[in-house]
């Protein structure tokens, strides 16, 4: 019974049935068209041959493997000889000139079939290679995020646990000012962890369907930027941010929640890690194809050796060594993920008085890079 089941499975395999259907349909259609030429034209031989060659080409292109293309060549040659060459409805390769004609036609059609099938196989290989590269990029992204998470979560959690233990063990000996300072540190670390959770939820929002493409709708740039600034000021009430947008009303395709998260991450990094009390500049300009968002600070800048990998999820940013607190690696890695999912680009550079981050969003819907 097992052998019978395996035989029936091989015979009625969906791909095989589809290939047979394509083969019979195209060769049957070529034969019908050839009969039309045969009964309407005075010298239909060239048209009939070209019709079968076209059918063979399509069979080779639309079926898998070389077998169906080879059979299409054989059927085409036999049909021309049997149906459209005198004596009709009889195979005769002995007539003057016909052996060479049929051999030449069979050679051309076999070569055409082989080239077409090879092109299809090459296209399949290229497609699989692109999928592998996309999967490798996703795995790299996941590894970078996990590495950043393992570092960035450990640091504030250790601080929260340490501060709470000190508070519990020395509560009676601490002044009110010391108690308040301790609670402020715990609150700050707790809010930072909440921001990290929001970042991680942003990533799940992108990859909920297993892809790196986001669902976008036309959103006003000015409103998205204003909402990001308002959300940041709820978290950092003393934040000083200078906002500037173009006079023209801009509507571009985006996921507003995700882009707000990117802007919040960049502005918070500029405020917390620049070690400057000067206001942060957040402004927008445009090119022919893109809208460009800028976040510019006036602080210590970014070490030149960190710039090429700053969006890869590394935690070893300047801020981590200075105060032993949180780094900005995971936030920037998530920013890159979000912007790339929108079909844009993100970058950073140092200027004379600090650092500047900027990212682009296409003015029109486009395929994302992954």
Least confident residue range of 33-47, 321-335, 351-365:
321-335
**pLDDT tens digit string along 176-197?**
888 888 888 888 788 777 777 7
- Match 């030449």 to its residue by tokens: 104
Q: Mean pLDDT across the stretch 293-297?
A: 96
Question: Considering only CA atoms, which of 246, 300, 307, 302 is closest in space to residue 278?
Answer: 300
* Pairwise CA distance, residues 52 & 108, whole Å: 12
Could you tell me the pLDDT band of residue 319, with boundaries at 50, 70 and 90? Answer: very low
Question: Considering only CA atoms, which of 36, 73, 71 is closest in space to residue 53?
Answer: 73
369 pLDDT higher than 60: no
Give the tokens for residue 101.
């004609």
Residue predicted with more confidence, 219 or 1:
219
pLDDT at 313: 63
DSSP labels, 166-194: HHHHHGGGS-HHHHHHHHHHHHHHHHHHH
Least confident residue range of 63-72, 270-279, 318-327:
318-327
* Pairwise CA distance, residues 347 & 358, whole Å: 6
- Average pLDDT of the chain? 79
Could you tell me the pLDDT band of residue 5, with boundaries at 50, 70 and 90? Answer: very low
pLDDT at 280: 95
**pLDDT tens digit string along 203-252?**
666 654 445 567 789 999 999 999 999 988 887 888 899 999 998 899 99
Q: How many C-beta neighbours within 10 Å does residue 124 have?
A: 11
11 pLDDT higher than 50: no
Give the tokens for residue 2.
């097992």
State what percent of residues in the chain have pLDDT above 90.
Answer: 21
Phi-psi region of 294 (alpha: psi -120 to 50; beta: other; left: phi over 0): beta
3-class DSSP assignment, residue 350: strand
**pLDDT tens digit string along 71-108?**
887 888 788 878 887 777 777 766 655 667 667 666 76
Could you tell me the pLDDT band of residue 350, with boundaries at 50, 70 and 90? Answer: very high
pLDDT at 96: 57
What's the predicted TM-score (pTM) here? Answer: 0.54
Residue predicted with more confidence, 104 or 168:
168
Question: Hey, which residues does 219 pair with through a beta bridge?
Answer: 252
Q: Return the ∠ at Cα 143 (arms to 264 and 124), rounded to 5°.
A: 105
Residue predicted with more confidence, 347 or 145:
347
Q: N- to C-terminal Cα distance for the chain?
A: 48
pLDDT at 95: 61
- Match 């970078």 to its residue by tokens: 144
pLDDT at 219: 93
Give the tokens for residue 81.
């000889």
Could you tell me the pLDDT band of residue 253, with boundaries at 50, 70 and 90? Answer: very high
286 pLDDT higher than 90: yes
Residue predicted with more confidence, 131 or 11:
131
Q: Mean pLDDT across the stretch 270-282?
A: 90
Task: Give the helix ranges, DSSP H, for the chain.
Answer: 2-11, 14-40, 45-62, 67-84, 98-170, 176-206, 221-235, 256-273, 318-323, 329-341
Fold held by 140-362: Heat Shock Protein 90 (3.30.565)
Q: Mean pLDDT across the stretch 133-145?
A: 74
Question: Considering only CA atoms, which of 365, 226, 219 is closest in space to residue 290?
Answer: 365
pLDDT at 102: 65
Residue predicted with more confidence, 87 or 301:
301
**CA max distance for the chain:** 117
* Pairwise CA distance, residues 258 & 196, whole Å: 14
Q: Contact, 276 vs 298, CB < 8 A? A: yes
368 pLDDT higher than 50: no
Cis peptide before 87 (omega within 30 of 0): yes
* Pairwise CA distance, residues 151 & 110, whole Å: 61
3-class DSSP assignment, residue 324: coil
pLDDT at 141: 67
Could you tell me the pLDDT band of residue 289, with boundaries at 50, 70 and 90? Answer: very high
pLDDT at 148: 63
Q: Mean pLDDT across the stretch 7-25?
A: 69
* Pairwise CA distance, residues 58 & 116, whole Å: 9
């Amino acid at each position: 019974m097992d052998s019978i089941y395996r035989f029936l499975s091989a015979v009625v395999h969906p791909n095989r049935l589809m290939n047979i259907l394509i083969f019979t349909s195209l060769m049957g259609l070529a034969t019908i068209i050839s009969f039309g030429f045969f009964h309407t034209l005075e010298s239909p031989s060239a048209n009939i041959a070209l019709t079968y060659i076209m059918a063979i080409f399509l069979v080779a292109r639309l079926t898998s493997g070389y077998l169906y293309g080879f059979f299409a060549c054989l059927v085409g040659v036999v049909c021309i000889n049997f149906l459209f060459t005198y004596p009709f409805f009889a195979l005769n390769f002995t007539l003057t000139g016909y052996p060479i004609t049929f051999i030449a036609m069979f050679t051309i059609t076999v070569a055409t079939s082989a080239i077409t099938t090879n092109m299809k196989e090459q296209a399949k290989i290229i497609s699989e290679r692109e999928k592998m590269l996309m999967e490798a990029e996703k795995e790299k992204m996941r590894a970078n995020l996990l590495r950043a998470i393992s570092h960035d979560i450990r640091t504030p959690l250790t601080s929260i646990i340490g501060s709470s233990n000190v508070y519990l063990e020395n509560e009676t000996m601490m002044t009110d000012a010391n108690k308040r300072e301790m609670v402020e540190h715990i609150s700050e670390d707790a809010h930072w962890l909440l921001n990290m959770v929001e970042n991680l939820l942003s990533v799940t929002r992108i990859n909920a369907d297993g892809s790196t493409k986001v669902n976008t709708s036309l959103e006003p740039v000015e409103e998205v930027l204003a909402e990001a600034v308002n959300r940041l000021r709820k978290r950092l009430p003393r934040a000083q941010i200078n906002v500037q947008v173009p006079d023209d009303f801009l509507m571009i395709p985006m996921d507003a929640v995700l882009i707000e998260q990117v802007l919040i991450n960049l502005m918070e990094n500029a405020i917390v890690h620049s070690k400057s009390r000067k206001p942060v500049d957040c402004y927008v300009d445009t090119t022919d194809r893109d809208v460009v968002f800028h976040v510019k600070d006036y602080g210590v800048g970014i070490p030149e050796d960190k710039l090429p990998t700053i969006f890869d999820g590394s935690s070893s940013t300047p801020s981590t060594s200075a105060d032993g607190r949180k780094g900005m690696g995971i936030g920037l890695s998530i920013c890159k993920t979000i912007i790339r999912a929108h079909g844009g680009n993100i970058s950073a550079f140092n200027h004379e008085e600090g650092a500047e981050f900027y990212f682009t969003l296409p003015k029109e819907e486009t395929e994302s890079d992954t």
